[in-house]
Every structure is written in structure tokens, then in C-alpha cells.
Structure 1
Amino acid sequence: MSTLFNLPDETPAPPAGDRRSSVADLNAIIKRARDIMRKDSGLNGDIERIPQFSWLLFLKALDAQEEDREDFGTGPFRPLIEAPYRWRDWASCKEKQRRTGDSLTQFVNTELLPYLARRSGSPELDVIGTIFKEVQNRMRSGYLLRSVVDAIEGIDFHAQDEVYTMAHVYESMLQELRDAAGDSGEFYTPRPVVRFMVRMTAPKPNETVLDPACGTGGFLVETFEYLRKQYGKELSADAAAEIDANLRGIEKKSLPYLLATMNLLLHGISRPNLTLDNTLRHPIASHRHQRVDVVLTNPPFGGEEESSVPKNFPTDKRTTDTAWLFLQVIMERLTEGGRCAVVVPNNILFEGGVGTKVRKAILDNFNLHTIVRLPNGVFAPYTLIPSNVLFFDRTGPTKAIWFYEVPLPEKRRNFTKTKPMNDVHLAELEAWWGGPERSGRVTTPHAWRVPVKELNDEVDLDLQNPHQKDELAHRDPSELIADLIESEQELLTLLQQLQREFDGGQQ
């Protein structure tokens, strides 16, 4: 049975052989649909094709769930979507009843999408209405749209194994969307980093978990997977249902909101607790009334908000840099004993002015127990800005900070798009971590401890590993040049890909 709005029982992954076959079949369907969309003049690149595919996929999946509810549910059945707006009515109906060409585009644009945008009155209906308030059909050809719909018909959302497989195929599509988005690609955080942050904060089933800039929902999906794996057999039906409400995300852009909703639904989060909103537009004091146990996030790097947003923050901590604003929100959102893991750019560790004041506020009011310094290229080629993960909790002021510098693999100068970071690169760090209590930590060539009293007046946290020489200063110039060439080649490859997408869209 489908799982979109009812929490599924623990379902084992299909055997590897079956999964490979199913993945191949689903990839073939997706490729066929995307090849068809490439022919439509209204769609330019995957940045538009993947969202178009996603809302169609959502309607197909939802209709399968509705059929299961009608056939196997208890009590009176009330459809979330009524005829003639159900997928079965206009998409998978008999040949004589199928719309195509101008008839199909007119129906979708003037009847179907406005109807869906008006749905409200229950949590499920609110999800549908919120998604479709922002959805547009960008396909101009009703004949090509019909072909895409027919391709999606090949996906069977009644089969749990197929839903499981589709969730993982969909994740790969989201990574492609990051690739296609270029310098707007703020939708995707590398999964090894996300999984590590989730494991080290170790959320519990009864705890509230928030991502205030959730993008496509990666942190929430990985938290859900972690909870099901760690506690699945111990959860009562009520406790399992509570998890959905406890996983909370806020996203201000309609495209990633749509993608996140679909992502969470496919992974079995039955009622995605997502809000289409700008976290930063609310007065900072208001966040104190919505505190949570855990915050997991990667807020936008270097973004700027409209001039009215900084006015929501204390006068001495106002800035248009979104990273600093999100840090202030996180501090207000954490309950007593709450904990956080947040990805930040390098300037957060040393920037003066507002930066110094925010860092002092963290150290005075929170235990900033660990700073993980990520190696070069984790987010390449989309940004080459060095990144870090801050781990802190509301358990009292910071007395000392552990730094851990994740090393690059041997003979590697940086991670790249074609050779990215994976889970094994964080295994040594996880072994050093010391479990939930962070016990038994020791100084190593990659780890060192700094008492707060040794920091300077600016609380500069951009500290060099005392066990390592300044590698940049002692490296051969030819190696530095090779690094620059490799980075430029990555960027050139991305630009050439975007150019091909653009040229294809103009044909």
C-alpha cells in the first residue's frame, strides 16, 4: 500500500538484485520523461524540468494512495482530490477520455492547478494547497505534456518496494538539480555531511527537530531514516506518528518547498511539517516561543536579505549577511539542553563587528564544544569557500572548544564534483568523537583543544592546527598552480553543461 499520508510499517529494502532492476526501470522512465521535456520550448534546463516532473509525480503518487485508502481504509472515505481532478480522471483514464494538445494544457492551467491551489481544511489538504499555490505548468505543448504523463504512468506507487526505490532515485535527481542550478544551487548539502551531523546530534523520537532553511529536506529525511533505524522496533504506533510532527522545516522559496515535500513523502514521512516562509522575517524575540530540541541546518552562505529583515534583530547585531542572522535565530530557537549542528562559511570564525558579538553570545550562553573544519572542495565547484560545522548546545557557557580538521585522502589536494566526499572520509572523525557523551577525546594530528580563556578579544576561532605546518606556505608553486587549474576545469565543465542545456532549450 502507498505511504504518502499514512506512516508505513517498517518495510525492509528489497533484495539488491530486485532493487538494481527496479532502479534501472525507474531511471529509464525518468530519462524518457526528461527527454520528452527537453523538446518543449517552455522548459529551460533541469532547473525547470525537475520541478515540472516533481509535481506531476506528486499527483500520480497521491492518487495511488487515495485508491489504497478507498479500498483498504476503515471508516468513511473522503477524497483529498475530487473528480475530475484526480490523476485517474485526466491522466490514466481510458483513451477516449484522455485530453491532449491544447485541451490538456487549458485544463491543467485553468482548471486543475487553480483547484489544487484552493485545497485546505485539514493537514493533508493544506499540504496540497500550499504546494500548488506556487506551481505553474511550464510546458507549452499539450502533446509533449501528454507524453510525459504517459511515461509517469509506468511508475507503480501501489508497490512499497517501488516507492522505496523511487525515493532514492529522487534523491539523485535533487543532486542533479544542484548541479543544474549553478550559483543558485542552495538546495543540496552533501549527504555524508548531513548523515554525520544527524548521528552526532543523535535526535530521539520524542524530540523536536528543526531545519530553518530546509531546502529540499535532506536533514529531515536523514533524521527520519536515523530514527527509524535506531528506534523503529521500539516505537509504538502513537510514537511513530509523533515523529512526523516533530520533524519541522521552514523554506522561503516555493521550488525547494515543493521538492522537499515530495522528498519527505517518498521517504515515508506521512505528514510533512513544512512551512513556506522566510525564517528571518519574524522578530527575533518571537522565536523564543517556538523552541525545539535539535537544530540541523546549512543556511545560505553569503546571502543578503531585503532591508526590512535586519530590523527584526537587536540593533548591535544587525547585518544583511544571512549566515549571521540564522545563527542568531538558532540561538533563540534552542530549548534548555537543546543542541545544534550548523554548517557555516569560514568568515563566521573570524569576522569582526557583528561577528565578534555573535560569537561572544554563543560562547557565553552555549557550549560550543566542537568545530569540525571541512576540507577543501566539499561544496565544489559551486563554492570554494572553506566550510565548517559548529556543534553547540544550551547547557551552559563554553569552557573549551575541540577543533577537528578533517584531512583529505592521501594524494588528494581537494574534493571535486567528480570525486566528492563520502562517508568513509568522516569515519576517523566519528571514531574520535566519543559517542553521545563525547568521552575519551584525545589530541591527535587532526584534533586539538583550546580553552576559551586563551582566545583573543575578538574571539577569533579561525585557528591553525598546531600539529600541522602551514602547508600552503611550504607547498611547491607548481602544486598550487595545478590546484587552480583543476578548480577552473571543474567550473568550465559546469558552465559548458549549462550552455548545452540552454542551447537545447532554445531549439
Structure 2
Amino acid sequence: MANKKAAKKAATPQTTAQSLGSLVKSCRDIMRKDKGLNGDLDRLPMLTWIMFLKFLDDMERLREAEAELGGDRFRPLIKKPYRWRDWASADDGLTGPELIAFINQEKATLPNGKEGAGLFAHLRSLQSAEGSGREEVVANVFRGVSNRMESGYLLRDVLNKIDGIHFDSTEEIHTLSRLYETMLREMRDAAGDSGEFYTPRPVVQFMVEALDPQLGETVLDPACGTGGFLVEAFEHMEKQVKTAKHRKTLHNGSLLGQEAKSLPYLLCQMNLLLHGMESPQLDYGNSLALKVTEIGDRDRVDVILTNPPFGGEEEASIKSGFPQDMQTAETAMLFLQLIMRRLRRPVGGKQPGRAAVVVPNGTLFGDGVCARIKESLLKDYNLHTIVRLQNGVFEPYTKIPTNLLIFDRSGPTKDIWYYELPLPEGRKNYSKTKPMQFEEFGDCLKWFRLKRRSENDQAWKVPASDVLKYDDNDALVSCNLDIKNPNSAEALEHLPPEQLVADILQKERRIIEIMEEIEAELAGAAG
């Protein structure tokens, strides 16, 4: 019977992007009438947990049908009467105060008329036999969720509309995932300065392309937010899937994430599910609570892609998990240490782990504890590339200049290559209406992939020994990675006249050499 229901549901006409957009817009319009919600910062989380439960029920229907066809026993994730189909899908189901009570209260009257735990109370209590299954994912999601709608009648209208989305339709999932990303951007804009620090998608795309995660590798974002890096890494690795075994590898432990705040954690879960991840492996909590002094090989991964929070301060209990001479309250520097320690070591034939990390400019020139952490980075790891981004890349969320540190555990560092990403021609800065585009990374990506790099107007090389300064007693004085582009107009203005002349002559000679090479090739072709 279950397979017939699933087949019937899958045969439902596909919802177009336009009609799905209208449906979601209609839900948000309904929510605007509810006094308990405060703008998109409340409406998007509401829509997210509602869609999350509808998605789970549709996936459960499919799994039940597959189990029945295969003659296997099906163990439901959510049991009666807490499944979407039991309380949300019927037009004449619970509504008004009874619906709000069923969702919110610890004890409530259930859809079947019996007394029992309320919906959220039940979902928060879910637990698997092994203690690390899908039940824990749902429980963690709903521990950080609350129902802010006050009107059960308006909520019933929203439920009826969401029931029209079919998450067992591949086309509808892709359509909704694109729409969902638009909604996430709107929420970020609404958050303003008080919201999370979000990474523009072109920056995420470049970092994933640069590290090129491969099927079979583990990818971690220890501060995953709404899941931008994990989604991009998943889509990058999904292109490598050719067999059922490949697919199993991708979905079982390839992508790992952790998020300390409940709303981004929920949004990340939904984001990954909508993009095709079957059981996202996300931990809820502060990644920095893991003592770096106790990290072992089982905690290490192949690839780390992240934009960790910076500007914040951590508690003494968190700092105590770091080496005594590298303890700091600055979040960015603690995350950098965590990332370094969690990269896989090149032992037993394993390739060294690699990372791409967004850091504020202050990380490059910071001294004291910051300098000691950077010294460790250069001595124990290979910081082979620093990509310097232009101001305004992260507008409107922050004006702080940022950089991308790209390193691996093959260290130590011999030379640091810098690449300064230029602004598009005719542009003075980026803005909300004219943001960065991925195409602007094109030249940088080609240069990054070269086996033999060369210096140019945007790229230059600095020996690691030049940035590590010690006193006569071999005590570290500074580790300044804030090296300006020597080819920039600003740098040229400060060069002494004799060096300016020498640079110009060198470039002229190179131009003449190139012209002679071209002339020789043309002469050879004519002959």
C-alpha cells in the first residue's frame, strides 16, 4: 500500500519555479498577519521547520515504499501521531488554539484524541539506539526551535499550502533549493549588523575549486553557519559520483559541520537536505569546546573550508583547551589553531590535509599570541598562498578587509605566494547592488593551479624567513604577513628613484625579449 501512495504522490504534476515561488510568498504573506512574528527573521525560521517536517515525511514515505518492495522491515523515524500526514496534511485537521497547544505544550491533546507529549516535546526527545542516528539530528534541530505564531488558524493556512510541495519530486526539490537560497540572502540582509557573518558565494566557490575536494575525502566546516561551504563541496563532489558505491561514499561521512547557534544550525540542515544530502552530519555546539591539546588522528580530516567568526571573545573555559602560550580570547585565532590541528597528518600513505580559511586583515599583522600562532603555522604547516581580497567584498555585512589563507600539512613553509585580486575595471568598490562575481577569480584560479607559478602584476612571492623576526636570543619579535603588492601604484610611489628606474628598465628588457621571440616564431612560420 505504501509504495502505491508514494508512486501516486511522485506522479503529481511538477510545481514550476514560478508557482512554487508564489506558494512560498503566499505563506509569508499569511505570516505577516500574525502578531507573534517579527519580520523575515522570524518568518524564515517558521517556514524552515514546517518545510523540514514535510520533507521528512515525504522521505519517510519513499523509504517505507522501498523497504516494502525489498521485503525489508521499515523502522519509521517519526511515529504516529506525530508524522506530518497525521496532523498537518489534512485540511480539516487540528487548527486554532488546539493546533498551537499540540505544537507548543509539553502535554497536549493529540490528533487521535489521546493525551501525550506535544509535538516539539516529542521531537526533542527522539533518540536512536546507537545515540548518533537521524533521530538525534531531528532532536537537535528542534531543541533550538520555537513556534512564534500565535494564531492557529493562520498556521493552518500555511500548513495547507506547504502540503502542496512534493519533496519526493527531484525537480521540485531543485526548484525549492534555489528559492530557499534566495530566502536565506533576504534573511541575511534583514539581519544587518546584528546577524551572522556570511560569505559571498563567489568566494565560497573559489575556495572549493582551489582545494578541489575528492570523493572519499572528508570535508569539514567547523563554523558552518547556513551551510554554504558544505553545499558547494557536496555539489563539487557529486559530479564525481559514477556508481552506487560512490554515492554511498559521498553520503556517509564525507561532509562534516558544526554550528553553535540554533537558527543557522536549522537552516544548514534544511539547506543540505534540499540540495540532496540524505543525512547531514552536523554537530550542534561550539567547535572550540574540543580541546586542541587532545585532538587525535580520528578527529582529523582531509579538507577544511570555513569562514570562522571573528571579532568575538571566548570564555576562559574555552581558552583553557589551547596551549598556554597560545591562549587568547579572540575567536578567529582560536579557530585558526583548531583548523591547523584538525588537518590530517601525512602518515600511513595519507595525503596531508589542506585548508582554505577566511581571516580578517588583523590576523596578518597581529603580534603577541597572534604572532606565535602564525609562527607555528609557518614552521609546522605549508602556508603556500594568501589571496588578498579588495575592500567591500563582504558588504553590507562588514567593511573589514579580508584575506584567504590556503595551507596544508606538508610544511614547513618555504615561500608564501600572494595574489591580490583586483577590482573590475572601472569599479572603485563592491556594493550590495554590484557584488563580486565568481568570474573575477578566473585569472587567480588559473594561476593557483599552475605547477610552476610566476610573479606578475597581481602575484608575488615572499620567503617565510623574511616575515619571521627574532631577537639576539632567538625570541620571536614579530610575524607580519601583511605584505603589500610590490607592483601596486601605492607601492611604486614609495620606491626610491634608482629602484623605479631599475624596475622600468627590467620590464622594458622583458618586453623586447618577448617581441624578439614573437618575431622569430613569425619568421619560422613564413619560412
TM-score, normalised with respect to structure 2: 0.82
Note the 1:260-339 alignment, pairs <5 A.
Answer: 260-289=268-297, 290-336=299-345, 337-339=352-354
Alpha-carbon contact 1:42-1:138 (below 8 Å) kept: yes
Range 121-130 or range 206-215, more displaced: 121-130
Partners of 2:338 and 2:288 in 1: CA distance: 8
- 1:140 matches 2:150: yes
Tell me by how many angstroms 1:165 deviates. 1.3
- Equivalent residue letter for 1:239: H
Amino acid at match of 2:325: D
Segments of 4+ in structure 1 off by > 4 A?
471-474
The 1-side partners of 2:135 and 2:490 are apart by 57
Equivalent residues in 2 for 1:52-451 (5 A)?
Answer: 52-73=46-67, 74=70, 75-95=72-92, 98-110=93-105, 111-121=118-128, 123-186=133-196, 188-229=198-239, 231-233=240-242, 236-244=243-251, 245-289=253-297, 290-336=299-345, 337-434=352-449, 438-451=450-463
CA 132–62 in structure 1, closer or farther in 2 if over 3 Å, else same? same
Q: Distance in 2 between matches of 1:168 and 1:440?
A: 39
CA contact (8 A) 2:367 2:479 kept: no
Separation in 2 of the partners of 1:105 and 1:25? Answer: 28
Farther off after superposition, 420-429 or 305-314: 305-314
Q: Is the 8 A contact 1:215 1:251 kept in 2?
A: yes
- Ranked by relative contact order (alpha carbons within 8 Å, sequence separation 6 or more), the top structure is 1
Question: Within 2, Cα distance between the matches of 1:453 and 1:84?
Answer: 66
Which residue in the other structure is 1:454 paired with? Answer: 466
1:173, CA displacement in angstroms? 1.5
Going from structure 1 to structure 2, the CA distance change for 1:39 and 1:187 (only over 3 Å counts) comes to farther
Residue identity opposite 2:269 in structure 1: T
Relative to structure 1, is the Cα distance of residues 425 and 104 closer, same or farther in structure 2, using a 3 angstrom cutoff?
same
Where structure 1 has 5 or more consecutive residues not aligned to the other structure, the ranges are 1-17, 475-507
Within-5 A mapping of 1:475-486: none
1:468 has 2:488 as partner: yes
Shift of 1:187: 5.6
Conserved 8 A contact 1:52-1:138: yes
How far apart, CA to CA, are the structure 1 residues paired with 2:294 and 2:305?
A: 20
SS in 2 for 1:408: coil
Letter paired with 2:60: E
1:335, CA displacement in angstroms? Answer: 1.1
Rg larger in 1 or in 2? 2
Deviation of 1:184 (Å): 3.2
Q: 2:99 is aligned with what amino acid?
A: L
Q: Deviation per CA, 1:393-425: give whole Å up to 9, x if none.
A: 000200001100001111111111111111111
The total of aligned residue pairs comes to 448
Q: Secondary structure at the match of 2:316?
A: coil
State percent identity of aligned pairs: 51
Contact kept in structure 2, 1:174 and 1:188, CA below 8 Å: no
Residues 1:38 and 2:32 are matched in the alignment: yes
TM-score, normalised via structure 1 length:
0.85
Contact 2:484 2:491 in 1 (8 A): no
Question: CA offsets, 1:181-227, max 9 Å, x none?
Answer: 11233263111111111111111111111111111111111111001
Letter in 2 for 1:417: K
Q: Is the 8 A contact 2:91 2:160 kept in 1?
A: no
Deviation track 1:364-384 (CA, whole Å, cap 9, x = no partner) reads 001100000111111111100
Cα distance in 1 between the residues matched to 2:32 and 2:492: 45
Aligned CA-pair RMSD:
1.8
Kept in 1: contact 2:421–2:458 (CA 8 A): yes
Q: Which amino acid aligns with 1:348?
A: T
**Residue deviations 1:134-177, cap 9 Å, x none?**
21111111111112112212212121100111112111211222
- CA gap 1:471/1:88 in 2 versus in 1, 3 angstroms: farther
Q: Secondary structure at the match of 1:385?
A: coil
Q: Which amino acid aligns with 2:38?
A: N
SS of residue paired to 1:402: strand
